[in-house]
Amino acid sequence: MNLEYFISKKIIQGDSRSNKFTQPIIKIAIIAISLGMIVMITSLSIVRGFQEEIRNKIIGFGSHIQITSYDSHNTYEASPIDKDQDFYPEIEEVEGVNHIQVFATKAGIIKTKEEIYGVVVKGVGSDFDWSFFNDKLKKGKTFSIRDSVIADSILLSETIANKMQLDVGDKMFIYFIQENGQLRPKDFIVAGIYQSGLEQFDNIIVLTDIAHIQKRNGWTNNQVGGFEITIDKFKDLDKLDEFIYENIGYDLHSKTIQQQNPDIFNWLELQDLNVVIIIILMLVVAIINIVSALLILILERVRTIGILKAMGMSNWSVRKIFIYNAVYLIIRGLFWGNIIGLGLCLLQLQFGFLKLPEESYFVPVVPIKLELINILLLNAGTLFICVLMLIIPSLVVSKISPIKAIRFD
């Protein structure tokens, strides 16, 4: 083993000093592996970041899991359920559950002197977690809700505010649509303006005190449209949804954010296919280059191979010398690819210098999410596949005759 390593090292050193044709081939192989790793790391990190950003925005509007009555039929005019439930708020003590809050929704029409616009009014209570909307605020502020006092404040998206020519502090009217088709007006003061970048929600969602929904629907203060539950880890969504469904009673129904927005989540899952295609293409390029470099090394050392085999070294032992050599080149390529790829990702994560039009891509900058386990698997997989592919071209060594090789010129 020590002899094989010593000879392999000498071959590498010889390649860097001698043949003018071999040296560029080796450099090209290293560069190809480095570029491939850069592309794989950046594409994987961008797609993971993009998926997480969009997923978090959707969850910000609807939480991970919603509990409603069975006869809600996915409409904004949900049947009321009692706020006093065994799981509220005790379910927060369940491992993996982060928060539970009440909500209710109702269709409405914003009316100004010159414009009218249809919206969905989401009523929230004193237990509402404002962290998502605080992060997305463009103007003004969120408002506090107390059970004893009804807040007349409202939170609009920038999209709605621009269409209706509204600003923070402006007075506006919302006409609530009743079951009999009549409109009941209520005046509000614009407390804040947010923008998430998801037009599907920015175009219709406004937030106010749940008491307004309860009053317009003729509900008591103890009746709500449903409960929203956020969890700690998205990967536990299905497991916790099953647990919640089994513990909320026969007259209630739970639904995950994936089930509420199947089109968006299916689209996000399709992004993984793009990454797989990119990784496959980069691996093919890397394999072609490293195999070419290995074949050139073997052909360059035909006389050396003949001498080693004449001295009694087996075909496999000689093949391992060249495989070690090629592995060294692969590791060099992976090293520089990781340094540059991770460096670019960290720079983007820190400074966000690559911008995007939010109206088209739903995010203002190229998102990055670095996952150590994925980076390690990417490196290990690339190294394993490349080394596996080297076994076939190394068979050329077995075909070299010692007698002919020593006389080879």
pLDDT at 146 over 90: no
pLDDT at 242 over 70: yes
- Pairing mode of beta strands 65-69, 226-231: antiparallel
pLDDT of the residue at 375:
94
pLDDT of the residue at 19:
56
Give one word for 195, left, alpha or beta, with left for phi > 0 and alpha for psi -120 to 50: beta
pLDDT at 6 over 80: no
pLDDT of the residue at 148:
75
pLDDT band at 201 (very low <50, low <70, confident <90, very high): very high
pLDDT of the residue at 16:
43
pLDDT at 147 over 80: no
pLDDT at 259 over 60: yes
Over range 262-273, report the average pLDDT: 91
pLDDT of the residue at 399:
72
| 225-229, 234-238, 311-315, 381-385: least confidently modelled range | 311-315
Over range 169-197, report the average pLDDT: 89
Q: Which residue has the tokens 């299916």?
A: 266
Over range 186-214, report the average pLDDT: 93
Over range 153-176, report the average pLDDT: 93
pLDDT at 359 over 90: no
Phi, psi for 230 (deg, rounded to 5): -105, 145
| 137-141, 254-258, 320-324: least confidently modelled range | 320-324
Over range 252-277, report the average pLDDT: 91
pLDDT at 316 over 90: no
Contact assessment for residue 103 and residue 260, using Cβ atoms and an 8 Å cutoff: no
Over range 119-127, report the average pLDDT: 94
Q: Read off the pLDDT of residues 289-314 as tens digits, 9 standing for 90 and up.
A: 888 888 887 777 777 777 777 777 77
Q: Is 44 exposed, middle or buried (0-12, 13-18, 19+ CB in 10 A)?
A: buried
pLDDT of the residue at 12:
47
| 123-127, 235-239, 349-353, 393-397: least confidently modelled range | 393-397
User: Over pLDDT 90: what percentage of the chain?
Assistant: 58
Q: What is the DSSP string of 216-230?
A: HHT--TTEESEEEEE
Average pLDDT over the chain, rounded to whole?
87
| 16-25, 42-51, 152-161: least confidently modelled range | 16-25
3-state secondary structure of 60: helix
Comparing C-alpha atoms, which of 380, 366, 289, 390 is closest to residue 338? 380
**Helices of type H across 225-314:** 237-246, 257-260, 262-300, 302-310
Contact assessment for residue 188 and residue 153, using Cβ atoms and an 8 Å cutoff: yes
Over range 102-113, report the average pLDDT: 90
| 53-62, 233-242, 339-348, 397-406: least confidently modelled range | 397-406
pLDDT of the residue at 191:
95
Task: Tell which wins on pLDDT, 251 or 308.
Answer: 251
pLDDT at 139 over 70: yes
Q: Quick one: tokens of 98?
A: 């982060």
pLDDT of the residue at 17:
46
